Structure formats: structure tokens, C-alpha cells
Amino acid sequence: MDVLNLTNTVALLQRLRERLAPVEAAETLVDQVEGRQDNARKAAVLLPLFVDNGVLQLAFIRRASSLRAHSGEIAFPGGKVEATDTSVVMTALREAQEEIGLDPTLVEPLGLLSPVFTVVTNYLITPVVGFLPQGLGSLKLQESEVAELFQISLPALADPAIAYTEHWSRDGQTRIVHFFDYETYRIWGATGRILAAFLELCTQPDTPTQLETSAHCFPQ
């Protein structure tokens, strides 16, 4: 990956605005996958981007150890779509506000990544990339669900030394599982897949390419 490109904040944000799927395309993206996963539950996560010391950062949460599912794992703020949500963007912003106290008015939605289906938990997750021009603001973690909030710079995340993949087999299918080991944190599962797709979008050549809208179906 070209780490140098990730230090040019203005150019990178412009690239993301051009290459991410528009928020209006959310239902189309989901429908293309839902046809193959009829009973999947819908969810959305927020990738919160902000500038610190002149470099773009990405915020993550570490789930509380008391949770029954995915306790202690690294994730993006987010959760399941509720009946009152008018869009996956609303879901991502609502969940981020509930989990970490992030003010939705601070977030500029840049666009969407392709939905990710999790075989084990049966969720169809739409990643929403958002830019926070004023930073994270004043936060309050929901301690019953979130043990920690932390940030990692994009150049650090794109360092090939922290990334690797493994091939896992389930139900007769072999799948690629993405891992990122940064300091004491291990990012993997659905979050690892979303992060890998996001970094690929950030660092691919400048020749415009169409966002691939087919979801990758790996277990979480």
C-alpha cells in the first residue's frame, strides 16, 4: 500500500467522496446481497474519520468483556437496523451516539462500502464512512457495551507489517480472514474485512474505478 498517499488529507477525502458508493445507493447495495441471504439481519457501522496532528485517524471501539457475543473484540461503532431508522446512515449515526456519545451533527457521511455478510451471526452489515471536521467532540461511552475507544492513523493501519491473512474453512468453503495487529490490538472478523476494503479503496491507483458492489461473505 502507498502510505504516502494517506498523509494528504484533502486529496484522500476527495478520493473517498468520488469512490465510495453514494448514501442514496444503500438499498441497492443491500438488495444485491439480500437476494442471496434472505434471512439476514440488517446492520450498519460507522467508520469515523478525523484529523489529529495533521493526519487522518480512524476510531475503533473495544467491546465490553461482559457481552455475550464478541466480547473484548475490536469493532466500529454500530448495530442492527431498527424499524424507526430511515436509512443505514441513520442506523450508524444512532448507534454511534448510543455507544460512544458521538454527536450525529458532527459527522459528514462520505459514502458507503459494500455490505459484508457474517455467516456465524447472520448479519448483513453496511459500512458508512463519515468525516468529522471538528473531531470526535465530547464523548461518553456506554460502559455496558464499550470498554474503550481508541484511534489509529491511516498510515499506521496501511503498514504492511501489521497486516496478514489466513485461510479458514467452514462448511466446505475456504475463506480469507484479514488480521491487523497494532500494538496490543488485534482487528479481525467483519471489522478486519471492512478495514481491508477501506484501505484498498484509499490506496488503489488514481485511475478511477467503479466500486465493486458485491459483498464478501466470510464468517465473523
What confidence tens digit (pLDDT) does each residue in 195-211 have?
A: 999 999 998 876 544 44
Per residue in 127-146, is it b (16+ CB within 10 Å) or e — as a string? bbbbbbeeebeeeeeeeebb
More confident residue, 216 or 56: 56
d(CA 189, CA 59): 17
All structural domains of the chain: 3-211 (3.90.79.10)
Condensed to tens digits (0 to 9), the pLDDT of residues 52-91 reads: 999 999 999 999 877 666 667 999 999 999 999 999 999 9
> Cell numbers 468529522 correspond to what residue?
132
Residue 190 pairs in a beta bridge with none
The residue written with cell numbers 458521538 in the block is 102
Nine-digit cell string for 47 = 467508520
Cell of 21: 458508493
Dihedral sign, Cα of residue 57, residue 139, residue 117, residue 175: positive
**Quick check: helix, strand or coil at residue 6?**
helix
Which residue do the cell numbers 431508522 mark?
A: 85
Closest CA to 59 of 146, 124, 144: 146
More confident: 49 or 32: 49
Instruction: State residue 207's pLDDT score.
Output: 55
